[in-house]
Structure 1
């Protein structure tokens, strides 16, 4: 008498229908190769789930083959998820900005994604797989490797899956949990410890603030403050172009060697600079009201400085100018651009004006003005990626554009010296240009605020002083950020340094606020922790930044 087979007796029957991964083996071998070289932000469990779906035995051969085709879009999506490329949410949030790019610049960006060396390596791997598959069972190897990666991932949430050299980055020995150079006792770089370090950093930063005087003394000396905010310039870019030795960088009284811009986008960088009088805040907090004492230019305005704004562009792209006004509280009217020649065409097709002419106009207006004190925010974008010469379609040489800008600034410094005007110039870039890509991002991409992109050259120079100018710049090697600039301006705000016969620069910079290397964009956080950079994407797990 026959009876229906029980569920338990059907399981051995399914064993007859185990099939290999087939071409999916190459998919996972390709991922393993990229992972080993640091090019993936690999998610072991998600990949293991995909393998389980592909391997589960199905008796019907047609359904088995159909399953492989149905898995293709999921495999493609998972591959993208495993890369360091911007998430879908980030792309959607920047859709309006992407739509503003010129067609030639968009084509150039697409071409950058083609890596012929990687394509060649992938082809060699494909041929090797086809050849070795005659003798090796790659499915067993793939499943074993994925199983091991999942075991390691569960055992230690932040694992060193890659052959990464852990030599500390030069000049970056400052821990996110500290506000002094003292090194803490080292603890494992687990998710829990890294999250705690980030929370501790922001908790301490909320307590820090520059103390400006309520009023200036009767013997205060009037002077101007000129903050020059340059887009797309980092120490890494200077080294890549050989322009770190340009004479301009020798003309500062002070140079910050380890200044962190804390972001790799212009809008947040501008807001952070305008809010320099308070400690570093999380990215989302930049778009919320801040303590009135945080706004650097408001603090100066209350002491009698007239505030001004100048730019070599219109500020429309990405709502940059509106961000400065709404979230940086910079309400000064934009200095007239009428009659200024066009030097470049920007990535969105708008003109980039001649900076030398803008510098000249600003100085002429200051010399004719009745106000004895002023604070000007000057934003420059000639180094932005995608800028081109008028009448040309290809991006102009970054080095040529940087050489021109540095020459113009150098000549402007000559003019300021000759004018005898008392002036404090602060040159502080927004972020780097990412001229040299890494394993996380291609050249020119700035979605992730890498250390090479946020470590920017900051210089300060006083003009019109009784004391002679320094023969060589004094370097500030401590890890610093915007609060140090605000503090230094507060120390000099009475202007008496301009009448001194000698300037004790070492005393002026003693005890300047130090700030740990924590950088943040909408979907990425990069943090220095015990001498190594770690990255967290989209609120996920921390991983060691590949180098």
Structure 2
């Protein structure tokens, strides 16, 4: 008896091992989600968390208190392990979320609930409660945590497989001498160091690229209208999801960019990038810094006698969109009058979405009255934005119905342009996709991560009022492209002579346009292609393969 009393408190501590208890279910659930590719699992932090739960405490009461006090830390770690937006993104988007209607907020909340996974989690819970009667689950949990840390740190090849891309990463076709001096690409395995170096090199190259517009137009230059239509929430993946990728309207364009990257998944940054198309792709941070005057496409055209115009089917107030255009895209033109325009749709924030067919007709009528002056007009349209609904309805309007309506209105507008005889260069450039089909990283409608499915957008170019025949079918531009290619195409056409030429060499017109590797960025997230595979970095952390 005296010997038992003489046992030191330190020894009693190391004899007080207890299991993880109900926390085993927490880790088992994570293992299943990781196995299915739904987690960006932080193996080391999870191992540290498990160690904190396992550290021996002689007092059973303290042990039980620890299990309860660990709840907020466990929930925070679970959130950290998901692909959900980081706190910086939530804070930055918080003001916009408060502008959502109550119906739209309920709709978004419902999307976050995956009932199949709720059922799977229940089955896993029942299985855990049943098996834990005979098997010490804590031993299994710790063994898997140790194996995951070992595999990720020592055997990186065991990490989830990346998504293969359709195209390789080419060097840009037109670069300045400063850019040509840089090496073509970073070589080596996709380590954090190599991927960071590749991204840094990409922005160095892009910083050196610029479209060269003529200093002045020749005396025989032909005036025409440049019309840029920027459509929110329209990507190839969305068109495929609603069976509209083969819509007849796409065959009406003279050129189709089939491998165009919007470089972002949000409206403001997308429009800024488009209006800054005359310089290479900048980082998300640099979008909100001053840029050289030569970067602004409409300013380049203004120097050549084009008057700028702005038209929208919405108020531009949500998310300070119009402010972004004024401050960061140098778009100072007043918004074309919306008085008298009808509207069948209400935006996710309760504001009206005006009829685009009427908006197109009003613009054309104004142009006809103005005569043959050179103009450059920027249209921004949002009828396809997530959460839009028909007047009198509390339910989100069907995307396919809205998309078909918009394509029909655009098709009718193209008919009107052809009948008018005006010389018009039409460029249709969506902002980004709608994320109709979610993936393992994001639910449907969520665009915090600029995945390839969201940023791969259809871009079409059509010339009206030409004497030369159009190509029998659209010329496909399959090279990886982005906004600089649009600016270059405008620069090649800016003298308007192709409108009066008897023939046009379409292949020559579209040859050697600037190519841009796939790099997309939102605040806090970067997605890029490296050696034919897609990788993602969140909040400045480590690069991981984009989950299939």
* TM-score normalised per structure 1: 0.96
Distance 2:511 2:317 in 1: 40
Report the alpha carbon displacement of residue 133 of structure 1 after superposing the two structures with TM. Answer: 1.2
Report the alpha carbon displacement of residue 155 of structure 1 after superposing the two structures with TM. Answer: 3.0
Distance 1:18 1:469 in 2: 80
Deviates more, 1:126-135 or 1:434-443: 126-135
Residue 169 (structure 2) aligns with: 174
SS at match of 1:446: coil
Report the alpha carbon displacement of residue 95 of structure 1 after superposing the two structures with TM. Answer: 1.1
CA contact (8 A) 1:483 1:513 kept: yes
Distance 2:359 2:429 in 1: 18
SS at match of 1:94: helix
Residue 59 (structure 1) aligns with: 58
CA contact (8 A) 1:159 1:543 kept: no
Report the alpha carbon displacement of residue 154 of structure 1 after superposing the two structures with TM. Answer: 2.8
Residue 533 (structure 1) aligns with: 534
Residue 177 (structure 2) aligns with: none
- Tell me how large the CA RMSD over aligned residues is: 1.9
Report the alpha carbon displacement of residue 127 of structure 1 after superposing the two structures with TM. Answer: 1.0
SS at match of 1:144: helix
Distance 2:27 2:56 in 1: 20
- CA spacing shift, 1:160–1:491, aligned 2, 3 Å: farther
Distance 1:220 1:480 in 2: 28
Residue 86 (structure 1) aligns with: 85
Distance 1:180 1:273 in 2: 19
User: Superposed, which structure 2 residues align to 1:273-288 within 5 Å?
Assistant: 273-288=274-289
Residue 29 (structure 2) aligns with: 30
User: Superposed, which structure 2 residues align to 1:89-488 within 5 Å?
Assistant: 89-155=88-154, 160-162=158-160, 164=161, 166=162, 168-170=164-166, 172-174=167-169, 178-179=171-172, 187-370=188-371, 372-488=373-489
CA contact (8 A) 1:174 1:183 kept: no
Distance 1:421 1:222 in 2: 10
SS at match of 2:15: helix
Distance 1:330 1:372 in 2: 19
Residue 67 (structure 2) aligns with: 68
Distance 1:107 1:167 in 2: 32
Distance 1:155 1:243 in 2: 47
SS at match of 1:17: coil
Question: How many equivalent residue pairs?
Answer: 539
SS at match of 2:70: helix
Deviations 1:148-170 (A, max 9, x none): 222233336x65423x3x56222
CA contact (8 A) 1:187 1:193 kept: yes
CA contact (8 A) 2:151 2:158 kept: no
Report the alpha carbon displacement of residue 471 of structure 1 after superposing the two structures with TM. Answer: 2.1
Distance 1:256 1:86 in 2: 31
CA contact (8 A) 2:152 2:158 kept: no
Deviations 1:237-274 (A, max 9, x none): 00000001111111000000000000000000010000
Distance 1:85 1:187 in 2: 30
Deviates more, 1:354-363 or 1:367-376: 367-376
Q: Unaligned stretches of 5+ in structure 1? A: none
Distance 1:19 1:509 in 2: 70
Distance 1:14 1:393 in 2: 61
Residue 16 (structure 2) aligns with: 17
Deviations 1:447-503 (A, max 9, x none): 000000000000000000001222210100000000000000000000001111111
CA contact (8 A) 2:255 2:475 kept: yes
Distance 1:488 1:6 in 2: 88
CA contact (8 A) 2:186 2:197 kept: no
SS at match of 2:345: strand
CA contact (8 A) 2:12 2:58 kept: no
Distance 1:482 1:331 in 2: 20
